Amino acid sequence: MKFHLLLITLGCFLMTACGVEKQILEDILIAEMVGYDDAGSNKIKGTVVVNVPQPGEESLGKEVYEAITHDVKAARQQENAKTPFPIAGGRLTVILYGEELARKGLNDYVDTYRRDPMVGRDLYLAIVHGKAEDLVKMEPKLIKTPGVQVKELIEQNIRTNLPDVDLHRYLYACHGKGIDPVLPLLETAEERIRVKGIALFKRDRYIGKYIPYEDGFLFKVLSENFKLGSYEIKWKENEYTEINNVESKVHYDISNANQNPKVKIEVNLKANLLEVQGYDLGNPVDVKKIEAKAEHVMGKKLKEMVTMLQDNHVDPLALGDIAKSKTRDFNLKHWEKAYPHIPIEVDLDIEMIQTGIAE
């Protein structure tokens, strides 16, 4: 017992003596969101929005600071040179990159945050259609600050139309073999911030192509198991039906990866359908017809998306990574050369498990 007490006492002593610097809220500026844009001549423009304590008030004000430098660390120093208190990044939730900068590659501008022990794990990265500074400087119509609003916007859409896209997942995909990262593509519209789509990358470079927001559900179906979300099926001109996802599962079957690779993607989707014109949802025969028709329409869209990814030589579905994990002496160079021409079959099975309030 005495030995355990001694260990506890020693641990407390070490914790108090380790020199951790205390930060008083009134003596720092809390950064929530930062944006980086290309500034030409191998320079970047950093724009940060910070919360500023208001004397005698519970609410926080907002200020924006800018700096043009050669790297992220220098931008932080220049921004601090303009502030009455140091900028603390412990509550940083979102980092934005302008599309022009993202096309040149993001490794140099992401690496700093990977090494920063003050940055939390729940840090989101996103690309801005246009300039990041325009979004950072926005005065949102909602009461919340732009940083909180963008964070909640991304988190809400991860449940439905976006893949999970925090800092660590980006780094894994960027530096992994046989996989390419994706990031949310944001834009400003009518003084609001919205998701435009899913930006596609080759390694750390944005290729200038993206999956539109309305097709984000299809990408999520192809890339992960999930629940929630909805998709609007277009039967023909001016005739649409919306299905709500109850449960979606995806399985990949990759064969002969080192010679003549073939891929089969099996998607099982359980969904509910509340209304569709021209069918009796109480009739099992009609429900089967709807399932077959939905499989045909959505299956075609899924195949088109896979082909688009192959045509652009990007692999955000991580098919190469999966093939590597299942193939002895995996030949990455052969796979990457063959990837654009690999026959990929998409097999979609839809089961309508709820078709009305009565059920």
Q: Which of 44-48, 86-90, 210-214, 335-339 has the lowest mean pLDDT?
A: 86-90
Residue 225 has pLDDT above 80, yes or no: yes
**Most confidently modeled of 25-29, 57-61, 215-219?**
215-219
Mean pLDDT of the region 218-223: 95
Cβ proximity of 111 and 174 under 8 Å: no
pLDDT of residue 61: 64
Structure tokens at 347: 């097999």
CB under 8 A, 24+ apart: contacts of 283-287? 287/352, 287/355
Mean pLDDT of the region 141-166: 82
- Tens-place pLDDT, residues 177-218: 999 999 999 998 877 889 999 999 999 999 999 999 999 999
User: Which residues make Cβ contacts (< 8 Å) with residue 325, sequence separation at least 6?
Assistant: none
For 85-106, the DSSP string reads SPEE-TT--EEEEEHHHHHH-S
The residue among 144 and 349 whose pLDDT is bigger is: 349
Task: Name the residue type at position 8.
Answer: I
Residue 56 has pLDDT above 90, yes or no: no
CB under 8 A, 24+ apart: contacts of 138-143? 138/188, 138/191, 138/193, 139/191, 140/191, 140/192, 140/193, 141/191, 141/192
Q: Which residue has the tokens 């099982």?
A: 268
pLDDT of residue 310: 97
The residue among 58 and 128 whose pLDDT is bigger is: 128
Nearest CA to 197 out of 205, 24, 206, 321 is that of 206
Q: Which residues of 124-146 are buried (b: 16+ CB within 10 A; e: fewer)?
A: bbbbbbbbbbbbbbbebeeeebb
pTM: predicted TM-score of the whole model, two decimal places: 0.85
Mean pLDDT of the region 245-262: 94
- Tens-place pLDDT, residues 275-323: 677 777 778 888 888 899 899 999 999 999 999 999 999 999 999 999 9
